[in-house]
């Protein structure tokens, strides 16, 4: 029989994504109505634990938030307790502040935390387990790149937003007989590019898992012209790179636990195609619009089952596991297994095969 708990914490870490509030709502409502637990909201991801910024959450606090984008608790993708940037005598350095976080949580009576986040958040949580704080993770990210789960919530909404953008780009591309390149997010994985590219009928999809060759892209555009197709739509993941080349880095924040920010590959590809083949190209970078707005119905329901399942796991005495969806079944994997890993698109992924079969090029 699992030891009965009285108080849990809930937090959202890393970049925001649609559906975070739906998880917070499911966790807190299940905890309050079905198990009579106290729920403490941790503000701004791990920063709330570092700075002791914690507040009790009531049923009313989590009502009316199902459809709201972002997170009512706030988030941070810079506050990893294992590697937190502090200023000592005017010099910035990393410090492990995990013990301080555990103390703040325990002082607030928190026995375990539902942490909603991606691989960075899971690695922050894993570092605190050895100091005596327990977690249940819920996988979030628009990138869909969390190891151990077939799907993360937030991904479906991001794909919908990106697909709508590709649909709109089509009309301008056709009217002006242009090559239009749409850059989507995804970090080191091509999930958003692949799904939005196929859904939006892109002619070429470029992703980090399949480094492209510029001459293959130019040849494909020329072939299309020969068949009377006067325009070409390219969907490029921000992590796309040419064969033998590097990803395009937008900026490096050396005091962030994950210092690299990708961005700019669409402009690079546009310039390279123009230089190599004299074809008029335009680049559109979708950026953070993919993380914003209301969650799709799919993400609202996925977030609700993830949140409910996470709470049920806690009550059943499970600790330091991450809720995952595997072959359409909810289950859990060890937190330590998920931390710091990336799930990329497999080369033999069914959608890649289907896209190739309907004539989509991957620039390879």
Which of positions 239-278 make contact with ligand F6P (CB under 6 A)?
A: 261-262
User: Nearest to residue 208, comparing CAs of 249, 254, 160?
Assistant: 249
Residues 268, 242 contacting (CB under 8 angstroms): no
SS3 call for 12 = strand
> Which of the residues 16, 44, 119, 143 is marked catalytic?
143
Q: Output the six-digit token pair for 362.
A: 């991957």
Query: Is 332 among the residues that bind ligand F6P (CB under 6 A)?
Result: no
Q: Quote the DSSP letter at residue 34.
A: I
Which of positions 139-158 make contact with ligand F6P (CB under 6 A)?
A: 141-143
The span from the CA of 362 to the CA of 130, in Å, is: 44
What are residue 315's DSSP bridge partners?
none
Of 28-36, 43-51, 136-144, 207-215, the window that binds ligand F6P (rule: CB under 6 A) is 136-144
Q: Output the six-digit token pair for 209.
A: 């898992």
Q: How far is the CB of 194 from ligand F6P (least distance, A)?
A: 14
Which H helix or E strand runs over 91? Answer: strand 91-95
Q: Is the CB of 82 or the CB of 121 nearer to ligand F6P?
A: 121
Active site residue 150: no
Q: Determine which residue in the list 9, 15, 41, 200 makes contact with ligand F6P, applying CB under 6 A.
A: 15
Which of positions 278-307 make contact with ligand F6P (CB under 6 A)?
A: 291
User: Nearest to residue 266, comparing CAs of 288, 223, 233, 243?
Assistant: 233
Question: Binders of ligand F6P: how many residues, by CB under 6 A?
Answer: 12
Query: Is 186 among the residues that bind ligand F6P (CB under 6 A)?
Result: yes
Query: Is 77 among the residues that bind ligand F6P (CB under 6 A)?
Result: yes
Q: How far is the CB of 328 from ligand F6P (least distance, A)?
A: 24
Q: Determine which residue in the list 43, 178, 187, 308 makes contact with ligand F6P, applying CB under 6 A.
A: 187
Of 28-36, 54-62, 135-143, 345-353, the window that binds ligand F6P (rule: CB under 6 A) is 135-143
From residue 176, give the alpha-carbon distance in Å to each of 168, 204, 219, 280, 281: 13, 18, 20, 10, 10
Of 39-47, 185-193, 305-313, 337-345, the window that binds ligand F6P (rule: CB under 6 A) is 185-193
User: Nearest to residue 13, comparing CAs of 67, 81, 86, 96?
Assistant: 81
SS3 call for 159 = helix
Residues found near ligand F6P in the complex (CB under 6 A): 15, 77, 141-143, 185-187, 238, 261-262, 291
Residues marked as catalytic: 143
């Amino acid at each position: 029989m699992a030891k009965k708990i009285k108080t849990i914490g809930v937090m959202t870490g890393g970049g925001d994504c649609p559906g975070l509030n739906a998880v917070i709502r499911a966790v807190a409502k299940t905890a309050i109505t079905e198990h009579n637990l106290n729920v403490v909201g941790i503000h701004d991801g791990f920063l709330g634990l570092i700075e002791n910024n914690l507040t009790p959450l009531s049923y009313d606090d989590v009502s009316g938030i199902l459809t709201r984008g972002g997170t009512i608790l706030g988030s941070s993708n810079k506050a990893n307790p294992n590697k937190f940037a502090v200023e000592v005598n005017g010099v910035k350095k990393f410090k492990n502040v995990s013990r301080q976080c555990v103390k703040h949580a325990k002082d607030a009576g928190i026995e375990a935390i539902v942490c909603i986040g991606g691989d960075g958040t899971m690695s922050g949580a894993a570092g605190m387990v050895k100091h005596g704080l327990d977690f249940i993770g819920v996988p979030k990210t628009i990138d869909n790149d969390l190891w151990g789960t077939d799907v993360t919530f937030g991904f479906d909404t991001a794909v919908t937003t990106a697909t709508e953008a590709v649909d709109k780009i089509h009309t301008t591309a056709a009217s002006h007989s242009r090559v239009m390149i749409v850059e989507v997010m995804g970090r080191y994985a091509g999930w958003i590019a692949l799904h939005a590219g196929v859904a939006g009928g892109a002619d070429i999809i470029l992703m980090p898992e399949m480094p492209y060759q510029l001459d293959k892209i130019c040849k494909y555009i020329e072939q299309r012209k020969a068949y009377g197709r006067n325009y070409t739509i390219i969907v490029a993941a921000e992590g796309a790179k040419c064969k033998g080349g590097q990803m395009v880095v937008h900026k490096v924040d050396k005091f962030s636990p994950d210092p690299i920010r990708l961005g700019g590959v669409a402009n690079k590809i546009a310039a390279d195609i123009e230089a190599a083949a004299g074809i008029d190209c335009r680049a559109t970078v979708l950026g953070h619009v993919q993380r914003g707005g209301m969650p799709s119905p799919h993400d609202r329901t996925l977030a609700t089952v993830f949140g409910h399942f996470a709470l049920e796991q806690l009550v059943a005495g499970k600790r330091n596991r991450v809720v995952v969806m595997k072959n359409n079944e909810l289950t859990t994997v060890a937190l330590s297994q998920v931390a710091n890993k990336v799930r990329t698109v497999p080369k033999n992924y069914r959608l890649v095969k289907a896209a190739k079969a309907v004539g989509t090029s991957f620039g390879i």
